[in-house]
Amino acid sequence: MTEKLQHEKVLRDPIHNFIHVQDQLVLDLINTPEFQRLRRVHQLGIASSVFHGAEHSRFGHCVGAYELARRVTDHFEKYYRSQEAGDGLWNPEERMLTIVSALLHDLGHGAFSHTFEHLFNTDHEAMTRNIIMGDTEINRVLSAYSPEFPNKVASVIAKTYSNPQVVQLISSQLDVDRMDYLLRDAYYTGTKYGEFDIDRILQMMRPSKNGITFDIRGMHAVEEYIVSRYQMYLQVYFHPVSRGMEVILEHLLRRVQELQIQAQRNDWNETDFVGPLLAPLFTGEELTVHDYLRIDDHVFMAYINMWQDHPDPILSDLSQRFLNRRPLKSIQINPQTDQYLDQLENLVRDAGFDPEYYTARNDAVDLPYDDYNPLAKKPRTQIDFVLEDGSHRELSELSALVAAIKGRASVDQRFFFPKEMLKTGPDELFAQLHRDFRSYIKNDTLTPPDK
Amino acid sequence: MTEKLQHEKVLRDPIHNFIHVQDQLVLDLINTPEFQRLRRVHQLGIASSVFHGAEHSRFGHCVGAYELARRVTDHFEKYYRSQEAGDGLWNPEERMLTIVSALLHDLGHGAFSHTFEHLFNTDHEAMTRNIIMGDTEINRVLSAYSPEFPNKVASVIAKTYSNPQVVQLISSQLDVDRMDYLLRDAYYTGTKYGEFDIDRILQMMRPSKNGITFDIRGMHAVEEYIVSRYQMYLQVYFHPVSRGMEVILEHLLRRVQELQIQAQRNDWNETDFVGPLLAPLFTGEELTVHDYLRIDDHVFMAYINMWQDHPDPILSDLSQRFLNRRPLKSIQINPQTDQYLDQLENLVRDAGFDPEYYTARNDAVDLPYDDYNPLAKKPRTQIDFVLEDGSHRELSELSALVAAIKGRASVDQRFFFPKEMLKTGPDELFAQLHRDFRSYIKNDTLTPPDK
Amino acid sequence: MTEKLQHEKVLRDPIHNFIHVQDQLVLDLINTPEFQRLRRVHQLGIASSVFHGAEHSRFGHCVGAYELARRVTDHFEKYYRSQEAGDGLWNPEERMLTIVSALLHDLGHGAFSHTFEHLFNTDHEAMTRNIIMGDTEINRVLSAYSPEFPNKVASVIAKTYSNPQVVQLISSQLDVDRMDYLLRDAYYTGTKYGEFDIDRILQMMRPSKNGITFDIRGMHAVEEYIVSRYQMYLQVYFHPVSRGMEVILEHLLRRVQELQIQAQRNDWNETDFVGPLLAPLFTGEELTVHDYLRIDDHVFMAYINMWQDHPDPILSDLSQRFLNRRPLKSIQINPQTDQYLDQLENLVRDAGFDPEYYTARNDAVDLPYDDYNPLAKKPRTQIDFVLEDGSHRELSELSALVAAIKGRASVDQRFFFPKEMLKTGPDELFAQLHRDFRSYIKNDTLTPPDK
Amino acid sequence: MTEKLQHEKVLRDPIHNFIHVQDQLVLDLINTPEFQRLRRVHQLGIASSVFHGAEHSRFGHCVGAYELARRVTDHFEKYYRSQEAGDGLWNPEERMLTIVSALLHDLGHGAFSHTFEHLFNTDHEAMTRNIIMGDTEINRVLSAYSPEFPNKVASVIAKTYSNPQVVQLISSQLDVDRMDYLLRDAYYTGTKYGEFDIDRILQMMRPSKNGITFDIRGMHAVEEYIVSRYQMYLQVYFHPVSRGMEVILEHLLRRVQELQIQAQRNDWNETDFVGPLLAPLFTGEELTVHDYLRIDDHVFMAYINMWQDHPDPILSDLSQRFLNRRPLKSIQINPQTDQYLDQLENLVRDAGFDPEYYTARNDAVDLPYDDYNPLAKKPRTQIDFVLEDGSHRELSELSALVAAIKGRASVDQRFFFPKEMLKTGPDELFAQLHRDFRSYIKNDTLTPPDK
């Protein structure tokens, strides 16, 4: 069993001012190598190539989610303490599980998460559970607290834990994870539209029999949160320029995969161009937790730096584009432009670029309010309000704004191509080719903001 | 010659809201590989191990200093445009030189600047000039603007340019560099005391015959800036915990140097454990600009990651301490404690730690208002105010607060040692040793804040 | 003709940091008695009885609207200066007219505007024009600048001025008036949802042939502004508790009117209970500009203070309720409740309250995006964006959020009654009456937030 | 005895976001007429004539001080709960007394406090106690809670209550009163230098045997608070322009006093020109609590409005200057200027202004850190820190900045005169007189900022 710290430790945090660490267990978890690794994984990955302020790591987000969980559970304990089982109120014995789950919920995130998961067929949520259950410091610290604790934390992350209050605080339409990352990303990008009234929302949260509800007096603060989230997706997370960088990264790593396969097939000596830390990624076997934890942003970035000198022209070129921030350009795919994409690909090939590496069709999709991941077959979750007379109402029944965007996917499909295709200089030989290309895309009126 | 951009480009910035890029030259400079490299060098280095929010890179700071220079020169051009040579007013022809110098002033900063410069005997200011004058994209872009432009920018950085207005805007007690980094570091650390009224200061700046002065009506805003700077040094830049991490980094890299020398001497095969990008650091020859530019934070961090497995026990241990954030502890050196430091070192050695790698005496020194670097033999600079009757007064004559801290170095000298020395567990064998150690340092009442 | 001030004057402002006064004319206008009077008229009237932070006067709003106009016109002059008549760009000669109109646009507002206009049949916009054209210091200062200037300013206020750019900057869906008051009211109430990115919007404004348009890159900032406005109306301006205070004020002043008429009819000596400053309100004749300008919030408040001792029991009771903040309670009128309102009125009468003074049916109506005042027969105005290819699109075509609330009136109809009707104490005599009353209104689930 | 509210009430507050009202007693006190009156008394009086944003009332400040007291006592109760008498920790039974005293501490403030107290020989602290002990709603509500409660609250206000923890929370160098007003005044004036880290200070407060101490880890936050306070005094509270308005107000009211005395002596019919609410001020007898409470800012402002038409030329002129914001100008009194003041007075008289009403010598004095009121014979109070080893240190021993301003009065002595004395127009007759006047004061280089 753990004990309270004699003096709480505080971490200065720009979003929540201070993170209050009051338990030896929480302090010990923060001090594990697995948790410290989160300092070496950026929260927003490549988005900082557009929003240069947003270079923050997952470490801050994780302690931030913890801090919100700590505040909510303190509030619940003070005002909604359960008197008897099944009364729908808050059982203070769930406190430690909740704050620890909040702290550890993103432990499995690796470098450039989405690209990584896609290419190497991993899943950060599964990896989080593996780290919690595996041969790690995290597991040893949790087990020392109580033998069944790793398993309980893993079940909260997996959303299978029996108490829906705990599960929904960590993962739902309005959980400590989302609240922290929206505020944090808004702060670091400098985009004001991501702000909302976190204090008000925390005060209006209520435990209930089915999980978490909100007092009707917090309706407008929740509405503001949904609108903020909607705007952050459209303007930050879907930004076409950072997606133009992501495409380069993905193609670059795919090229490494292919070169590595060729090298192995040919028994080349060159197998080690990925070095000891990256090598496990390219063996074809499943990554061990130990190997996974050694790979952070720095490792990728250092190798991309070296690959600038690689003899393969595509790999070295893509590495240089990536490091020197030369994103692929893009146009929106819509009924007007869709029909021309094959021609565009041909023109790109004619200009000497392999379309497999220099073009892409990329969708950005989000449901601003409905379900966490519309592609997954998860049950719908909703934000519920409790009215003064005790009855419940769902958010979109109360808010015209939310009703307007509810269940309506924000979709931005784009075709990416090299900026060189737009070149206008005195390029005699390919002048006609560039003119053709530009003429195809001139109707794309919804061009990227700012850049 | 350059031209104005038809549509200005804006970069969203959390400190200044937007960075306005209005000239093709500025845009081209930002797009060079040498400038993009600044994204891969942290502004505050290891300080983010204490202030986790402060993970920002030098890129943001450099465009921020540019933005402030742009605003000042626009303001000067509108209100203080020179009519004839020698009238002490502002010559609009200096605009481009000023904003470009502000943009490029930190170009030569490398990974973990202070540690790096100390160990590898480099100087970031000289390196900035080398990058500007050398075989680089930066040089090509500047030369294309005008052949003598690289030289002019380098002379501003070197403080030898003839117009003191331009030099002082870039480098003085109250320049665009300091103003940006104080605001930026305060924002990212989340420490409110670093804030001051930048708008007011910018409005109160005046060109004069000897450089830059301030309207007396801005006195209190300048006073607030000096106090902010004083507090940032004491609380952030001198923080004993991040210095405890810095000591580890420095010792770790020194260990690599020594192992590398041994390896070369023994003609070991192991020379390449530093890899192609770091190798030039350890040849003993001077670094070329090209080699220097390839080394960024990621390269160091990736190697430290690998060195965790290095057969040398000191190197692998220090690498683990560094990555897993296990700083050396410290006590203040003062007349009381000074006499015991040798004994402490002996106790550390008795506990099995080589004092050369596991202890350090480290001074943090700053003059909050006097001269940029008290150790350098630079001329004193001062902040001057112009009064309504046209006479001048120096800041500390006007402000009791500034007078109180003027010319008074803030010094914090510390002795660093492994945290294990404080251990209190049932460690039969060394129990007496730890007791002795703790008894020596019990008088250190000025313990680190927050952590 | 006016001249530029040698040194600009600045007013410290919490919203815009500084208000920059650069012209002698503007300074002279601010120093007129008619403009200084705005310090004595609250911006939000009775709303500060709910949002206690919002006790700011119209003075700050007027200089704030001026400051925004100054920034926009400076921006237009720098980037969109007209080359020839009819090119749709900005003619710098319109600058002074624009900033002066912004400064003076609310000059005619009196104490408790809406209540006042309703009861005394005045119109603040007409009054603004009367002050500009009448025998006032404002008129003298404007005329000294140029004889036709008063008339031009009045025509901008009346929206009849020939240049639609100037008119729309002062009065449209997105004008300097609205932008300032939303930001200002959000700041003073402390409600974060009123904030939006003013810098971005100002940069994205463009002059055009038909008035003002916005660059497409500012779409999301404008969207955020519309949502902010929507939330401010629902949560601040329509707040049922401040409307419960407004009803009291209106009834109180109506009672004075009636008592005054009786007094005059009876040739009572008591006619002067309204004193020399208020008397002109009750003569039945039209108010002169001079008399109007003498009446400010203080005069009303001082008289209401005295009327607490008035022999008329209704007047003294309403005065006490008003000063001691005892608002009428309310329920929403909806199809469910509508049918019972007559019964409720009867119960109120049975409890001893004259329903004419102690009940009210009050509507709050706003169109968040469509037309400034849906009741007026004004032409529709819309927010237009100019795309990269030069074509135009209207806001609600681009924004799903705005489309959702477009043209859809926010309506909140309420029935007001004395709080005493809800009383639950041991009130033998009227116990049944109170029980009846409460049973009627128990279905009103949408009760006021916070209070 | 009171009870907890079933649902807490919250007031939206721009400084603390929300004021949480959790006790029926606190709610009942806020709803008394005496407390609601604070809405009609400005916090900063005439200072809003310079800082137009600062039009807030004492109501907000009082609920803000309450909120800080609530947070501190909650924090003490959670972390420093007393186990036995005399252990120096916090006795939760003091909670209600503390938060109520914070709420009511400024209850006795009247219109234009300092001017009022000076002219009418009152004392707001004594008046606060009178309201608490007198025949008022406040007294009735407090007595209903417990018969001895009014007396206990009054003793806290009088600083005679036995528990120094409670007294110092309400009134000391760093109490809830000062913390709230500095933050609030900084917010409303828009001056950033008044900000400090309130959250940090609240966390670092500790109960001790002698009252309140601070954890050493909060030293820099306290230092920042002292510097903020110092800057607010110099720049806001001492502003020469608002003192130039205050002089007018004081002279104006003195003129009324004298006219009233003459009127009474002559048995004029004109006695009632001060009206029923102001009359008690001019009888020469002591003000009753009841009469005092009827006088608010509005009453004064309404009468000054009427006095613009008064037949006495001095009264009507001063009234117009006051309402139309035409402050007296001033110069600093220093050894250089002191000797000429008599000549200046003569020149003012020669120009037709009665020096008794149109000139003044006015001192603004504050001790930024030492004792609340240096003129009173109160015991010194100091800010104490408790170090890790349990020993105590006083603030100025730890902070060079505070040592620099400690015990050092900030003094600004000024001579005030009509702006007309500086007139430069073609005023043949008095041209020489104005020239003489200006020549005397030309050495006054420390002119007012901003205006």
pLDDT (tens digit, 0 to 9) for every residue of chain A, 451 residues total? 458 888 889 999 999 999 999 999 999 999 999 999 999 999 998 999 999 999 999 999 999 999 999 999 999 998 999 999 889 999 999 999 999 999 999 999 989 888 888 888 888 999 999 999 999 999 999 999 999 999 999 999 999 999 999 999 999 999 999 999 999 999 999 987 778 889 999 999 999 999 999 999 899 899 999 989 988 988 898 899 999 999 999 999 999 989 888 877 776 554 456 778 888 888 777 889 999 999 999 999 999 999 999 999 999 999 999 999 999 999 888 777 788 888 889 989 988 999 999 999 988 777 667 533 444 445 557 899 998 778 899 998 888 888 877 766 677 889 999 998 887 666 666 677 777 777 766 644 333 333 3
SS3 C206: strand
Domain segments of chain C as ranges? 4-238, 240-327, 328-451
Find, in chain A, the residue whose alpha carbon is nearest to that of C398: A446
Q: Do C199 and B18 lie within an 8 Å CB cutoff?
A: yes
Q: C238 CA to chain A: closest CA distance, Å?
A: 14
Q: Give partners of D (≥3 CB pairs < 8 A).
A: A, B, C
Those residues of chain B whose CB sits closer than 8 Å to some CB in chain C are 10, 17-18, 197, 199-200, 203
* Residue B254 binned pLDDT confidence (cut-offs 50, 70, 90): very high
Cβ of A40 within 8 Å of Cβ of B301? The answer is: yes
Name the residue among D450, D396, D44 with its Cα closest to residue D222: D396
Residue D255: other Cβ atoms inside 10 A = 22
Q: What pLDDT, on the 0 to 100 scale, is given for residue B382?
A: 87
Residues of C in contact with A449 (CB under 8 A): 217, 219-220
Residue C2, pLDDT score: 53
- Which of C197, C401, C449 comes nearest A217 by C-beta? C449
Q: Give the contacts of A327 (CB within 8 A, at least 6 positions apart).
A: A49, A241, A242, A244, A245, A248, A321, A419
Distance from CA of B115 to the nearest CA of A (A): 19
Q: What is the pLDDT of residue A368?
A: 67
- Residue given tokens 């400084």 in the structure block: D15
Homologous superfamily of domain range C328-451: HD domain like (3.30.70.1370)
Contact A184, A55 (CB under 8 A): no
CATH topology of domain B241-325: Growth Hormone; Chain: A; (1.20.1250)
Residues of C in contact with D37 (CB under 8 A): 323
Query: How many Cβ contacts (< 8 angstroms) between chains C and D?
Result: 139
Contact assignment for C227 to A230 by CB distance below 8 Å: no
Chain D CB contacts of B391 below 8 Å = 445
Per CATH, the number for C4-238 is 1.10.3210.10
| pLDDT in the model for residue A1 | 47
Of A51, A187, A306, the CB nearest to B277: A306
Interchain contact, B192 vs D196, CB within 8 Å: yes
Is residue A410 a contact partner of residue A363, using CB atoms and an 8 Å limit? Answer: no
Chain B hits for A298, CB-CB cut-off 8 Å, are 297-298, 301-302, 305
Give B230's contacts in chain D (Cβ within 8 Å): 401
Torsion of the alpha carbons at B176, B182, B188 and B189, rounded to the nearest 10:
170
For C446, which DSSP code?
-
Alpha-carbon separation of residue B119 from B127, B265, D259 (angstroms): 15, 20, 84
Nearest-Cα distance to chain D for B221, in Å, is 8
Yes or no, beta carbons of A203 and D17 under 8 Å apart? no
Return the number of CB contacts < 8 Å for B and C: 14
Of D17, D18, D199, the CB nearest to A18: D199
Domain A328-383+410-451, what fold? Growth Hormone; Chain: A; (1.20.1250)
Name the CATH code of domain D239-323 (choices 1.20.1250.30, 1.10.357.10, 1.20.120.530, 3.40.309.10).
Answer: 1.20.1250.30
Q: How far is CA C374 from CA A192, B290, C233, C408, in A?
A: 31, 67, 15, 11
Give CA angle at A279 (A277, A285), nearest 5°. 120
Amino acid at A212: I
Q: Does the distance separating the beta carbons of C40 and D301 come in below 8 Å?
A: yes
Find, in chain A, the residue whose alpha carbon is nearest to that of B188: A14
In the predicted structure, residue D371 carries a pLDDT above the cut 50:
no
Please choose, from the candidates C362, C369, C371, the residue with its C-alpha nearest in 3D space to the C-alpha of residue C411.
C362
pLDDT in tens, D49-61: 999 999 999 999 9
Nearest to B449 among D192, D217, D223 (CB): D217
A224–C192: do the CB atoms touch at under 8 Å? yes
- Inter-residue contact D418 to D344 (CB < 8 Å): no
Q: In Å, how far is A93's CA from the nearest CA of chain B?
A: 28
D94 in Cβ contact with D161 (< 8 Å): no
Q: How many helices (H) and strands (E) does chain B have?
A: 23, 9
Count CB-CB contacts under 10 A for residue C390: 7
The Cα D186–Cα D194 span in angstroms is 5
- Minimal Cα–Cα distance from D189 to chain C, Å? 6
Hey, CA dihedral for B294, B296, B301, B304, is it positive or negative? positive
Q: How confident is the model at residue B430 (pLDDT cuts 50, 70, 90)?
A: low
Strands in D205-208's sheet, in edge-to-edge order, are D205-208, D211-215, D384-386, D392-394
* Domain D328-382+408-451 sits in CATH 1.10.3860.10: no
Chains that touch A (3 or more CB pairs under 8 A): B, C, D
Q: What is the DSSP annotation of C248-283? A: HHHHHHHHHHHHHHHHHHTT-GGGGGGHHHHGGGGS
**Closest approach of C27 to chain D, Cα-based (Å):** 11
The average pLDDT across D224-247 equals: 91
Under the banding of pLDDT at 50, 70 and 90, the label for residue C449 is very low
- 3-state SS assignment for residue C262: helix
Q: Which residue of B has its CA nearest to A306?
A: B277
Q: How far is residue A413 from each of residues A244, C375, D142, measured CA to CA in Å? A: 12, 43, 67
Q: Shortest CB distance from A199 goes to which of D18, D197, D200?
A: D18
Cα nearest neighbour of B297 on chain A: A298
- Check: CB of residue C322 under 8 Å from CB of residue C252: yes
Query: How many angstroms separate the CA atoms of A107 and A98, rounded?
Result: 15
Query: In the predicted model, is pLDDT for residue C431 greater than 80?
Result: no
Compute the nearest-CA separation of D192 from chain B (Å): 7
Nearest to B199 among C18, C197, C203 (CB): C18
pLDDT (0 to 100) of residue C446: 33
Q: Which chain A residue shows the shortest CA-CA distance from C225? A: A193
**Which range, of B212-221, D1-10, D164-173, averages the lowest pLDDT?**
D1-10
Cβ of C197 within 8 Å of Cβ of A193? The answer is yes
Collect all residues of chain B within an 8 Å Cβ-Cβ radius of residue A55.
39, 55-57, 60
- Which range of C89-98, C330-339, D379-388 scores highest in mean pLDDT? It is C89-98
Q: Chain A residues with CB inside 8 Å of C388's CB?
A: 445, 447
Distance from the C404 Cα atom to the nearest Cα atom in chain A, whole angstroms? 5
CA atoms in the 13 A half-sphere facing the CB of C35? 28
Report which secondary-structure segment, H or E, holds A362. strand A360-366
Query: Which position has the higher pLDDT, A436 or D356?
Result: D356
Partners of D447 on chain B (C-beta within 8 Å) are 216, 388
Chain C's closest residue to A197, CA to CA, is: C192
Whether residues A199 and D17 touch (CB distance < 8 A) is answered with yes
Burial grade of B393 (CB within 10 A; 0-12, 13-18, 19 or more) = middle
The rounded distance, in Å, linking the Cα atoms of B114 and B98 is 26
Average pLDDT (C190-219) is 90
Instruction: Say whether A199 and D10 touch across the interface (CB within 8 A).
Output: no
Q: Which of D189, D204, D225, D231 to mutate to test binding with chain B, by most B CBs within 10 Å of its CB?
A: D231
Would D4-238 and D328-382+408-451 be classified into the same CATH topology? no
Nearest to A55 among B36, B56, B277 (CB): B56
Query: Which chain A residue is nearest to residue C191, measuring alpha carbons?
Result: A197
CB contact under 8 A, C306 and D275: yes
Mutation for D interface: C31, C42, C55, most D CBs within 10 A: C55
Residues of D within an 8 Å Cβ radius of A? 10, 17-18, 197, 199-200, 203
**CATH number of A240-326, picked from 3.40.50.300, 1.20.1250.30, 1.20.1260.10, 3.90.1010.10:** 1.20.1250.30
* Residues in chain D closer than 8 A to C36 (CB atoms): 323-325
- The CATH code that applies to domain C240-327 is 1.20.1250.30
C-chain residues within 8 Å CB-CB of B199? 17-18
- Per-residue CA distances from C337 to C330, C331, C333 (Å): 12, 8, 6
The answer to whether D141 touches D28, Cβ cutoff 8 Å, is yes
What is the value of pTM for the model shown?
A: 0.91
HSE-up of residue C428 (Cα within 13 Å, Cβ side): 0
Q: What is the ipTM of this complex?
A: 0.92
Q: Are C299 and C274 in contact (CB under 8 A)?
A: no
